[in-house]
Amino acid sequence: MKLAVITDSSAVLQDTAKNEHLFVLRIPVTIGNTTYIEGKDLSVEEFYKKMAAEAELPKTSQPSLSELEEILGRLQGAGYTHVIGLFLSSGISGFYQNIQYLKDEFEGMTIVFPDSKITSAPLGMMVENIFRRYEAGASFDEIVEKLQQEIVGTTAFIMVDDLDHLVKGGRLSNGAALLGNLLSIKPILYFTEEGKIEVYEKVRTEKKAVKRLLEILQEQTSNGAYQIAVIHANAPQKAEEFKQLLQENGINWSLPIVSFGSVIGTHLGEGAIAFGISPIID
């Protein structure tokens, strides 16, 4: 078996970022009248700075279908026998539905496109675990089966700081935002089982919302071992303080701190902090 993995630039990749069998589709983002490719000519920090300077929200596009097709053609020519394409959740992008026909277009390759139902750090964790199992000699069926188990147990919870930004994105009415600001409401969003982003709770004051995030993390991880990441929307100090809170409360697993990129950052605005979890499957 010769296995390749294709993902998109919404995934936060660490150890596997330079793996020769990994291929990453870039997601364009348009801010004002200019289109950028995040990770190529737009850093995460630059994205948030440029977004803050514009009255309208940035517009993110789907990854390129033609680029995916071109990569699959190259993999076929290079003798790859198996491909896993793992992209951002179908609940926040139509890309998953649009690519399914490609699975049967390349003779000699077994191609699967599972719905990750997530993005950001947990998506990157899944990609890394695919390669870890591949390098350990697991069969393709075993790799895919354990990936599906991971997907079922993976989620993220997000405390949103900027209610006005949720109004721009159509997730909150002006009246609700005005009342929320007056009452210092901090919504906690989450990825549902269907991979959509919805409101989980509304908590008064940021201090209480951060404490509630800790409680939710403890609840969500009480039944086993998980990979955990702290994620933020251009709020590194908040993220560091949240990590310290987790450690003080006995969550001493590896806790990398990473940033939300343009896809999720567009919906959340600056100041959000979150955790992403994915179960450790033996």
Q: How far apart are CA 243 and CA 233, in angstroms?
A: 15
Mean per-residue pLDDT for 87-92? 91
pLDDT surpasses 70 at 181: no
Who wins on pLDDT, 29 or 17? 29
Choice among 2-6, 29-33, 165-169, 278-282 with the minimum mean pLDDT: 165-169
* pTM exceeding 0.85: yes
Confidence bin at 163 (pLDDT 50/70/90):
low
**What pLDDT is stored for residue 44 in this prediction?**
85
pLDDT digits (tens, 9 = 90+) for 186-227: 888 889 999 988 888 888 888 999 999 999 999 999 988 999
**Structure tokens, 102:** 């490609």
**What pLDDT is stored for residue 174 in this prediction?**
45
**What pLDDT is stored for residue 266 in this prediction?**
83
Total number of residues shown for the chain = 282
Mean per-residue pLDDT for 131-144? 96
pLDDT surpasses 50 at 281: yes
**What pLDDT is stored for residue 104 in this prediction?**
92
Q: What is the identity of the amino acid at 205?
A: T
Cross-strand bridge partners of residue 202: 187
**Structure tokens, 72:** 């699959």
Across the chain, where does the E strand assignment appear?
Answer: 3-8, 22-25, 28-31, 34-37, 59-60, 82-85, 110-112, 155-159, 185-191, 197-204, 226-232, 257-259, 273-279
Residue ranges and CATH numbers for the domains of the chain are: 3-27+62-152 (3.40.50.10170), 155-279 (3.30.1180.10)
Who wins on pLDDT, 16 or 146? 146
Q: Are strands 226-232 and 273-279 parallel, antiparallel or unpaired?
A: antiparallel
Confidence bin at 154 (pLDDT 50/70/90):
very high
**What pLDDT is stored for residue 178 in this prediction?**
44
57 CB-near residues (< 8 Å, 6+ apart): 51, 165, 168, 169, 266
